[in-house]
């Protein structure tokens, strides 16, 4: 076997990329509107929220965990930020408060999982309900609306023709990729997910890093809520319903293993884009949203089936 090693090791990523390209090609043949600049920016805009949340989930899933609470955390962060803005807090402080709430919720998840030894599924399932309830509680169930132009710029503004949310997403991905590949935090994330016992016996402070991973995941949900709130000009306590499932789907389509220890943020970005392009393309083609759900579900299953198949054929 003389396949260049680098290529072989990243086969899954190239595969995801190929699927993405083929998908784009097929859709652009079926509908010429797809490749227009405005539509592509539209796709990117629509993908941003899911893509940012999915980065957090990629970290969590690589560490062999799961986070079901990101959708609720997004709503809770959003309404806290909305109320802070309403109370006249300066913009940067209000945004920081929103992100901090997300990070805090994530840290609580991490505490429960790392120090309370709860299964991640249970801890974050609980948080999913707690954060949602908290969001409804602080707003009395009503959306917080009407924000300043400068805040809304975060969703509607452009820098050199690139929408600000897309720019934020790009920055998040560059940073997340760097952290995952080049820092201790990233290395330990892989080590914990790949073999927690070995990591522990190698002196990795496993619990501390788990706490950090969930905190980051919560913080990114908080960041996503900033963009969503600015876009809707409203912070909704019922925002983000089932966003966690979209984020998990993007992560899995991108080749991150639910067993932990394997994955990449580049793959996750492709996964999120595949989902975005699929939705957009099916919309352009006038396919009903019911059928869209069926198609996206099928894609998720196909991605994991492919992974399983590739893994078995290697042995």
Partner 1 sequence: MNERPALLQMQGITKRYPGVVALEEVDLEVRRGEVHFLLGENGAGKSTLMKILAGAVQRDAGTIIIDGCISELRSPREANDAGVSIIYQEFNLVPHLTVAENIFLGREPAARLPGLIDRARMEQEAQQRLTELGVVIRPDAVVDDLGVAEQQMVEVAKALSIDAKILIMDEPTSALTNQEITRLFHVIRTLRDRGVAIIYISHRMEELHRIGDRVTVMRDGRHIATRELTSTHLNELITLMVGRALTEHFPKVAVPAGEELLRVEGLKRTGVLHGISLTLHRGEVVGLAGLMGSGRTELARAIFGADPVDGGRIWVRGKEAKLDSPRAAIALGLGFLTEDRKRQGLVLGLDVTANTCLANLDRFSAAGIVSPGQEMAVAKKLTADLRVKTPDLHQLVVNLSGGNQQKVVLAKWLCREAEILIFDEPTRGIDVGSKVEIYQLINRLAAEGKAVLMISSEMPEILGMSDRILVMHRGSIAGEFSAAEATQEKILHCAVGAKAA
Please list, in sequence order, all residues whose beta carbon lies within 8 angstroms of the beta carbon of residue 90, skipping any fewer than 6 positions away.
none
The residue (of 204 and 238) whose beta carbon lies closer to partner 1 is 204
Closest CA to 266 of 281, 279, 278, 250: 250
Q: From residue 142 to residue 181, what is the string marking binding to partner 1 with x (rule CB under 8 A)?
A: ----------------------------------------
* Options 187, 234, 258, 304; binder of partner 1; rule CB under 8 A: 187
* Options 15, 126, 157, 194; binder of partner 1; rule CB under 8 A: 194
Collapse the DSSP code of 63 into the 3-class scheme (helix H, G, I; strand E, B; otherwise coil) and give the result. coil
The residue (of 86 and 194) whose beta carbon lies closer to partner 1 is 194
The residue (of 200 and 284) whose beta carbon lies closer to partner 1 is 200
201 is an interface residue for partner 1 by CB under 8 A? yes
Say how many C-beta atoms besides its own lie within 10 A of residue 138's C-beta.
Answer: 15
Collapse the DSSP code of 144 into the 3-class scheme (helix H, G, I; strand E, B; otherwise coil) and give the result. strand
190 is an interface residue for partner 1 by CB under 8 A? yes
Please list, in sequence order, all residues whose beta carbon lies within 8 angstroms of the beta carbon of residue 123, skipping any fewer than 6 positions away.
109, 112, 113, 116
Cβ of residue 207: shortest distance to partner 1, in angstroms? 10
Task: Quote the CA–CA distance of 206 and 114 in Å, as a whole number.
Answer: 8
205 is an interface residue for partner 1 by CB under 8 A? yes
* Options 88, 92, 161, 203; binder of partner 1; rule CB under 8 A: 203
Instruction: Phi first, then psi: give them for residue 235, nearest 5 degrees.
Output: -100, 115
Axis-axis angle for helices 91-110, 206-232 (nearest 10): 140
Collapse the DSSP code of 146 into the 3-class scheme (helix H, G, I; strand E, B; otherwise coil) and give the result. coil
12 is an interface residue for partner 1 by CB under 8 A? no
**Stretches 10-18, 103-111, 190-198, 278-286: which one binds partner 1 (CB under 8 A)?**
190-198
**Stretches 36-44, 199-207, 234-242, 284-292: which one binds partner 1 (CB under 8 A)?**
199-207
The residue (of 9 and 142) whose beta carbon lies closer to partner 1 is 9
Restricted to residues 243-302, the positions that interact with partner 1 (CB under 8 A) are 261-262
The residue (of 36 and 202) whose beta carbon lies closer to partner 1 is 202
Task: Quote the CA–CA distance of 193 and 55 in Å, as a whole number.
Answer: 16
DSSP state of 240: T
Q: Dihedral sign for Cα 39, 42, 46, 49, please.
A: positive
Number of shown-chain residues binding partner 1 (CB under 8 A): 24
User: Under the rule (CB under 8 A), what is the footprint of partner 1?
Assistant: 5-6, 9, 182-185, 187-188, 190-191, 194-195, 197-205, 261-262
């Amino acid at each position: 076997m003389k396949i260049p090693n680098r290529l072989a090791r990243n086969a899954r990523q190239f595969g995801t990329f190929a699927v993405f390209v083929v998908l784009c090609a097929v859709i652009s043949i079926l509908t010429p509107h797809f490749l227009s600049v405005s539509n592509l920016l539209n796709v990117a805009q629509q993908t941003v929220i899911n893509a940012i949340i999915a980065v957090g989930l990629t970290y969590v899933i690589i560490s062999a965990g799961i986070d079901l609470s990101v959708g609720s955390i997004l709503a809770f962060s959003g309404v806290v930020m909305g109320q802070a803005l309403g109370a006249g807090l300066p913009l940067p402080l209000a945004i920081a408060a929103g992100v901090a709430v997300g990070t805090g919720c994530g840290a609580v998840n991490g505490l429960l999982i790392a120090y309370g030894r709860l299964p991640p599924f249970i801890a974050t399932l609980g948080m999913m309900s707690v954060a949602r309830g908290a969001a409804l509680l602080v707003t009395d169930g009503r959306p917080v609306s009407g924000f300043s132009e400068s805040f809304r710029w975060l969703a509607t503004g452009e820098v050199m023709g690139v929408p600000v949310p897309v720019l934020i997403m790009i920055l998040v991905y560059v940073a997340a990729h760097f952290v995952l590949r080049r820092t201790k935090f990233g290395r330990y994330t892989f080590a914990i997910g790949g073999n927690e016992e070995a990591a522990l016996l190698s002196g990795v402070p496993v619990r501390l890093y788990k706490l950090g991973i969930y905190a980051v995941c919560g913080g990114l949900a908080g960041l996503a809520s900033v963009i969503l709130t600015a876009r809707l000009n409203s912070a909704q306590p019922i925002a983000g319903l089932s966003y966690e499932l979209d984020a998990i789907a993007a992560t899995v389509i991108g080749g991150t293993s639910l067993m932990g220890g394997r994955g990449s943020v580049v793959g996750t970005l492709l996964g999120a884009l595949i989902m975005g392009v699929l939705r957009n393309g099916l919309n352009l083609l006038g396919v009903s949203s019911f059928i869209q759900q069926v198609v996206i579900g099928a894609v998720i299953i196909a991605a994991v089936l492919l992974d399983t198949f590739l893994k078995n054929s290697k042995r």
